[in-house]
Amino acid sequence: MIAIEGLSKNFTTANNRITAVDDLTLDIREGDIFGVIGYSGAGKSTFVRLLNRLEEPSDGKVVIDNQEITALNADDLRVTRQEIGMIFQHFNLLWSRTVKDNIAFPLEIAGVPKRERESRVQELIDLVGLDGREQAYPSQLSGGQKQRVGIARALANKPKVLLCDEATSALDPETTNAILDLLVGINKRLGLTIIIITHEMHVIRKICKQVAVMEAGKIVEQGDVLDVFLRPKQQVTKKFVEQVMGTDDEDDGVDDLAHTYDRGKIIRLHFVGETANQALISQVAKTFNIDINILQGKITRMQHGAYGTLFVQMDGAPDEMDRALRYITDETSVEVEVVRDVE
C-alpha cells in the first residue's frame, strides 16, 4: 500500500545543515494501523508531512497505492491529497465555522455539489459521534469533540490513508482512549490505512499492529507491536516499553519480597499474546501437588493479544516443582525464568 524508499529531509540554517529524516525506508500494508514513535526531535512529524508533501523531501520517494507521490506535479498532487486525510495535535479547525461547515470545507474545495456535500457531512457527524453538535463552533467544544471534528473533516473525501500527527497529545487520558477507540472502529469499518505518529507508548499498545521507532531521523527498530514489546533491542525502545510495563526497579521490589521466603522457587512467567488470558496459575496448582503464591505482576492488553510478566513463589517437592515447570514450558507459550531457587 505504502512504500517509502530512501526518504530524507534536510534543513539548512545560517550556521549548519540539519537532517530531520535520514534515508528512511519502510513498507506499510494496506488496512494496517501503523505506529511511528519517537521522542521530540526524532523526526517523526517531519516524516509524516513528507508522506503528503506538506514538506518536500530532499531525497527518496513515496509510493501510495502504486502512485509515486514524490513525482507528482502541483496540480496532480492537489488532487491526490484528497485521498490522504490528516489530523493534527491542535485540531487546526476554522474557528469562524460551525462543526458542519468545518467538515464540509474540504468537500467545497473539491467541488462536491451541495446536496451530496450535506449528505456526506451528516454521515460523518454520525460516524464520529457528534450528532446534535452540527451548529456548534470550535470554541464551544471540548478537546475530544474538536478532534472528532478533525477526524470527520479528514475523512470527508473518502481517503485511502489517514495520517495522525500526535492526534491525542493534547487530550486527557479518558478522551485519548475514546479517540483511539474511534480510530480502531474507523479502521475496521472503512478498511482505512492509518499511520499514527506519537511519543506515547500507550497509543501504540492500544491500537497499532506494527510499529517503527525513530531516533535522530532514522528508524532504529520496527516490527509487530507484541514482538517489539517482548524483545526491545534499542535503548530508546526499552524506555518506551517502560512507559507501559514499568521499570527494573519493580523487579528489585520483587527480589526484596522474595527474600521473605526461605524455600521453594521464585519464578518469572512471561506472557505474550492470548496466553495472557489463560488461567495458568490455577491450572498448575490443581494439576500438581505444589503451592503457588503470586508476588507481583502486570499484564497489559494490546490490539492483538496481551503482554505481561508475573512473579510467583512456587513451593513443594523438588521433583513436583520441576514437573510443573516442564509442563508450563512444554504445553504453553509462556516463557519461564527461575529467578531464585531456595533449597
What pLDDT score does 231 carry?
81
pLDDT in tens, 164-221: 999 998 899 999 999 999 999 999 999 999 999 999 988 998 899 899 999 999 999 9
Domain ranges of the chain: 2-244, 248-342
Percent above pLDDT 70 for the chain: 90
Whether residue 258 is predicted with pLDDT greater than 60 in this model: the reply is no
- Top-level class of domain 248-342: alpha beta
Whether residue 340 is predicted with pLDDT greater than 80 in this model: the reply is yes
Rg (CA), the chain: 25
Dist CA 235 CA 123 (whole Å):
45
Average pLDDT, the chain: 89
**Weakest-pLDDT range from 59-63, 240-244, 290-294:** 240-244
- Residue 123 identity: E
Percent above pLDDT 90 for the chain: 66
pLDDT in tens, 108-164: 999 999 999 999 999 999 999 999 999 999 999 999 999 999 999 999 999 999 999
Mean pLDDT within 80-94: 92
Give the three-class secondary structure for 211: strand
What pLDDT score does 262 carry?
67
Confidence of residue 85 (pLDDT cuts 50, 70, 90): very high
Comparing CA positions, the residue from 105, 7, 14, 18 lying closest to residue 58 is 7
| Range 6-10 contact pairs with CB under 8 angstroms and sequence separation of 24 or more | 6/59, 6/60, 6/61, 7/47, 7/50, 7/57, 7/59, 7/60, 7/61, 7/62, 8/57, 8/58, 8/59, 8/60, 9/43, 9/46, 9/47, 9/50, 9/55, 9/57, 9/58, 9/217, 10/58
DSSP state of 43: S
Backbone φ and ψ for 334, nearest 5 degrees, come out as -75, 130
Tell me which H or E stretch contains 339. Answer: strand 335-342
Q: Do domains 2-244 and 248-342 have the same CATH topology?
A: no
Mean pLDDT within 257-263: 65
Whether residue 277 is predicted with pLDDT greater than 90 in this model: the reply is no
Confidence of residue 334 (pLDDT cuts 50, 70, 90): confident
CATH architecture label of 2-244 = 3-Layer(aba) Sandwich (3.40)
Comparing CA positions, the residue from 270, 278, 274, 261 lying closest to residue 314 is 261
What pLDDT score does 256 carry?
61
Whether residue 247 is predicted with pLDDT greater than 70 in this model: the reply is no
Whether residue 93 is predicted with pLDDT greater than 80 in this model: the reply is yes
Whether residue 72 is predicted with pLDDT greater than 60 in this model: the reply is yes
What pLDDT score does 297 carry?
81
What pLDDT score does 281 carry?
86
**What grid cell was written down for 79?**
488532487
What pLDDT score does 299 carry?
73
Dist CA 150 CA 124 (whole Å):
11
Confidence of residue 315 (pLDDT cuts 50, 70, 90): very high
Mean pLDDT within 7-32: 92
Mean pLDDT within 234-259: 70
Confidence of residue 296 (pLDDT cuts 50, 70, 90): confident
252 CA to centre of own chain = 29
